[in-house]
Amino acid sequence: MIDFHTTQGGTVGIADEPIATLRAALRGSLLLPADEGYDVSRTLWNGMVDRRPAAIVRAAGAADVIQAVNFAREHRLLMAVKGGGHNIAGKAACDGGLMIDLSGMKSVRVDPVARLARVEPGALLSDFDRETQAFGLSTPTGINSTTGMAGLTLGGGFGWQSRKRGLTIDNLTAVDVVLASGELVQASATQNADLFWAVRGGGGNFGVVTSFEYRLHPLGPEVLAGLIVYPLAQAKQVFEGYRRFTAEAGDEMTTWMVLRKAPPLPFLPADVHGKEVVVIPFCWIGELGRGEELARPLRSWGVPAGEHVGPMPFAAWQTAFDPLLQPGARNYWKSHDFTALTTDVERIVCDATARLPSDECEIFIGQLGGQVNRVEVGDTAYPHRDAEFVVNVHTRWRDAGSDRKCIDWARALFDALSPHATGGVYVNFMPEDEMQRVAGGAYGPNYARLARLKAKYDPGNLFSQNQNIRPQA
C-alpha cells in the first residue's frame, strides 16, 4: 500500500496490485522512494525545492504519459510534470503525489528541407542547438543551454533571436498533447486551434505536451556576440548609452544588461573580480562584417573594464552563461515588464546593485520589442506585446541561513520598481509565492478565455502544479 496526496488535499492509499499494473504497462519505469534513480529524477534546478513524490513515472514516450495521466485521474492524485526541471517555482515536483518525469524524452528530429524540427519535451536547449545548428538552422529560444525546451515554450520563450523572429511560441507550428481525459490530440492552427492558442503561453495548464513542432530559420553557425563589462561607477553613462542604442538598433541586434559582482572571468583584471559591474551582453544575428560596425558604440559608454567579443558559433554563445547558472544553488526571482528604462528605474536598480546580498545575485535586463511586439495581444495566450524590456531580479545563494536576507532584498527591489512597470510579468519568471499575479499580471486580457478553455480541457484541474489557471465555474 502506498499513500498518495490527492487533488483535494487529502490522502488515498493505493494497493500494491494497481501499482504493479501501472509498472507493467510502462515502457519506461516507475520509481518509488527506495528505488535507484528516484532522487536523481525528483531533483530540480532550484536548490530551494526539495519535494518527494510518492511515485515517479519516468516516461519513455507518449504511451507512458497516457498511462500516468489516466492513473492520476482515476485515483484523483496530485500530479506534477517535469520537462527540463528548470522552472524557478519548482512546480515540476510535488510532495506525496505522482510525478511524470519527461526528461528522458530528448529526441530532436530536423527536416532541413521543410525547415521544421520535432522535439520531445525532455530536450534541453543544448540538445536543440546541436541538432538544428548542424544544418545552419534555429528558432528563437532562451539564453541558457540547460533550460528545458518544453517549459520555455509553454511560457512563451524569448532570447537572442526574438527581436528578429518573435517568441518561441510565435514559431511553434504544432503540438501533440495528452489531455486530462488521457486522449492524445494534435493541435495546430487547423486542428484544435483553441488548444493550440492556449498552450502558446498558458504553461502546463492544459495537458502534457509530448511533441513540439517548430519552424526553423537560417542562422550562423557563427554570430557576432560577446560581453562588455563596465564598473558600476560608470552606470549612468552606460544606461544613457543603452537607452539610445536600443531605441535605434535593428531587429538583428539584441542587447541586454546585467548588474552583478564580476565573476573571475579570464578577460577581466583580477582587481575587478568580485566588484560591482554592469555587463553588456549582445548578439548580432545578421551579416558578421556589418555587425562589427554596429556594435562599436557598445564600447563608447565609458571605459570598459574588459571585453570578450567576436564571431563565435551560436551554439557556443548559448552556453556562455551556463557556469553562472549551474543547478543546485538556492534561487528566488522577482520580475517586471517595462515599456521604458527611465532614470528612476536606473537609480533604483543601481542602488540595489550596491547592496547585493550575495556574490551570485544579479539584476538582468532583457531587451524585447521588434517582432515580438508586432503580434497582436490576442493572437497567443502570452499577452505582453507592449513590453520593451524585462527586468528580472535573480537572487541566488548557497546557504539556507541567507534565505531571509536574499529574499527580502529581491522583494524590496521588486516593490521599488513596481510604480514604473507595466504590471505584466513573464510567467516563466514567477516564483511560487506569486499566484495572485497569474490572472492580472501573467495573462491580463487573455485570462478569461484561458479559464474557459481550462474548463473545457481540464475541468477537474488535474494539471494544477503550475502557475495555475483555475477552470471557469
C-alpha 6/C-alpha 54 separation (Å) is 11
Question: Residue 38 is part of a domain; what is its CATH number?
Answer: 3.30.43.10
Share of the chain above pLDDT 70, in %: 100
Q: Are residues 20 and 93 in the same domain?
A: yes
Residue 45 lies in a domain: yes
* pLDDT at residue 66 greater than cutoff 90: yes
Closest by CA position to 272, among listed 227, 329, 321, 336? 227
pLDDT score of 400 more than 90: yes
> How much is the average pLDDT of 209-219?
98
Amino acid found at 201: G
**pLDDT at position 2, please?**
94
Structure confidence by residue, pLDDT tens digits, 427-444: 999 999 999 999 999 999
Which residue range forms the structural domain that includes residue 270?
A: 222-435
User: In this structure, what DSSP letter does residue 438 have?
Assistant: I
In-domain check, residue 451: no
**pLDDT confidence of residue 352:** 98
Domain count, the chain: 3
Same domain for 119 and 258, yes or no, is no
pLDDT tens digit sequence for 132-169: 999 999 999 999 999 999 999 999 999 999 999 999 99
pLDDT of residue 347: 98
Provide the pLDDT confidence category of residue 324 given band limits of 50, 70 and 90: confident
Please give the average per-residue pLDDT across 395-401, as a whole number. Answer: 96
- Here the cell at position 240 is 544613457
364 shares a domain with 274: yes
Instruction: Let me know if residue 417 belongs to a domain.
Output: yes
Query: How far is it, in rounded angstroms, from Cα 341 to Cα 110?
Result: 39
| pLDDT at residue 473 tops 90 | no
The answer as to whether 378 is a domain residue is yes
Rounded Cα distance, 471 and 460, in Å: 8
Q: pLDDT per residue over 228-278, tens digit each?
A: 999 999 999 999 999 999 999 999 999 999 999 999 999 999 999 999 999
Nearest Cα residue to 55 out of 44, 63, 71: 71
303 and 242 within one domain: yes
Residue 340 belongs to a domain: yes
CATH number, residue 371:
3.40.462.20
155 with 46, same domain: the answer is no
Co-location of 48 and 112 in the same domain: no
d(CA 302, CA 238): 7
Strands 253-255 and 208-215: unpaired
CA 462 to mean position of chain CA atoms: 22
Distance in angstroms (rounded) separating the CA atoms of residues 445 and 384:
10
Work out the average pLDDT over 313-325. Answer: 94
Residue ending a domain, choose from 86, 101, 116: 101
Residues 243 and 332 in one domain: yes
Q: Is residue 197 pLDDT above 90, yes or no? A: yes
Instruction: Say yes or no: 206 and 229 in one domain.
Output: no
What is the CATH number for 166? Answer: 3.30.465.10
Residue 457 lies in a domain: no
Chain mean pLDDT for the chain: 97
Mean pLDDT to the nearest integer, 120-142: 98
Residues 290 and 332 in one domain: yes
